[in-house]
Copies of this chain bind each other. A is one copy, B any other.
Amino acid sequence: MLMTESASLVVMKFGGTSVGDVSRVKRVAEIVGEYRESNPGVGVVVVLSAMAGETNRLVALAKECVERPNPRELDVLLATGEQVTVALLAMRLNEMGIPSKSLLAPQVRIATDSRHTNAQIEEIECATLLEALREGGVPVVAGFQGIAGSGDITTLGRGGSDITAVALAAALKAETCFIYTDVAGVFSTDPRVCGEAKLLERVSHEEMLEMASLGAKVLHTRSVYFAMRYAVPLIVLSTFAGPFEPGRNGTWIVNEEELMEKPVVTGVTLRLDEAQITIEAMPSSIATMAALFDGLSERDVYIDMISQESVGGDAVNVSLTVPDEQSVTALETIRALVPSLRANGVTVERDIAKVSVVGIGMRYHTGVAARVFRCLARENIDVQMVNTSEIKLSVLVARKYCDAAVRALHAEFIPEGATVSAKG
Please, how many angstroms separate the alpha-carbon atoms of A339 and B86 in the complex? 50
Interface centre among A66, A69, A86, A104 (most CB of B within 10 A): A66
A68 near B95 (CB under 8 angstroms)?
A: yes
- Interface segment among A73-81, A184-192, A310-318: the answer is A73-81
A73 near B58 (CB under 8 angstroms)?
A: no
Residue A4 at the chain B interface, CB threshold 8 Å: no
Residue A62 at the chain B interface, CB threshold 8 Å: yes
Residue A157 at the chain B interface, CB threshold 8 Å: no
B101 near A65 (CB under 8 angstroms)?
A: no
Given A69-B91, A83-B83, A91-B70, also A22-B64 (CB < 8 A)? yes
Encode A339-371 as 1/0 by CB contact (under 8 A) with B: 000000000000000000000000000000000
Please, how many angstroms separate the alpha-carbon atoms of A86 and B25 in the complex? 27
Interface centre among A68, A69, A72, A73 (most CB of B within 10 A): A73
Interface centre among A64, A72, A91, A153 (most CB of B within 10 A): A91
Encode A175-211 as 1/0 by CB contact (under 8 A) with B: 0000000000000000000000000000000000000
B64 near A90 (CB under 8 angstroms)?
A: no
A77 near B66 (CB under 8 angstroms)?
A: no
Smallest CB separation, A295 vs chain B (Å): 32
Please, how many angstroms separate the alpha-carbon atoms of A69 and B84 in the complex? 13
Among B64, B66, B68, B83, contact of A79 (Cβ-Cβ < 8 Å): B83
Residue A94 at the chain B interface, CB threshold 8 Å: yes
Among B22, B69, B70, B153, contact of A65 (Cβ-Cβ < 8 Å): B22
| Complex A-B: 8 CB contacts under 8 Å | A22-B61, A26-B65, A58-B84, A77-B91, A80-B83, A80-B84, A83-B83, A104-B153
Chain A residues with a Cβ under 8 A of chain B = 22, 25-26, 58, 61-62, 64-70, 72-74, 76-77, 79-80, 83-84, 86-88, 90-92, 94-95, 101-102, 104, 106-107, 151, 153
Question: What residues of B have a CB within 8 angstroms of the CB of A92 in the complex?
Answer: 65-66
Give the top 7 A-B pairs by smallest Cβ distance, nearest first.
Answer: A77-B87, A76-B87, A80-B80, A66-B95, A73-B91, A73-B87, A22-B64
Smallest CB separation, A60 vs chain B (Å): 10
Please, how many angstroms separate the alpha-carbon atoms of A25 and B106 in the complex? 27
Query: How many copies of the shown chain assemble into the complex?
Result: 2
Question: What residues of B have a CB within 8 angstroms of the CB of A101 in the complex?
Answer: 72-73
Please, how many angstroms separate the alpha-carbon atoms of A355 and B379 in the complex? 90
B61 near A90 (CB under 8 angstroms)?
A: no
Smallest CB separation, A67 vs chain B (Å): 7
Residue of B nearest to A99 (CB): B70
Among B62, B69, B84, B153, contact of A77 (Cβ-Cβ < 8 Å): B84
Question: What residues of B have a CB within 8 angstroms of the CB of A90 in the complex?
Answer: 70, 72-73, 76
Please, how many angstroms separate the alpha-carbon atoms of A44 and B35 in the complex? 52
Residue of B nearest to A82 (CB): B80
Residue of B nearest to A23 (CB): B64
Question: What residues of B have a CB within 8 angstroms of the CB of A87 in the complex?
Answer: 62, 73-74, 76-77
5 further contact pairs, Cβ within 8 A, besides A76-B83, A76-B86, A106-B106: A65-B88, A70-B91, A72-B90, A73-B91, A76-B104
Smallest CB separation, A35 vs chain B (Å): 20
B91 near A62 (CB under 8 angstroms)?
A: yes
Smallest CB separation, A106 vs chain B (Å): 6
Residue of B nearest to A79 (CB): B83
Residue of B nearest to A62 (CB): B91
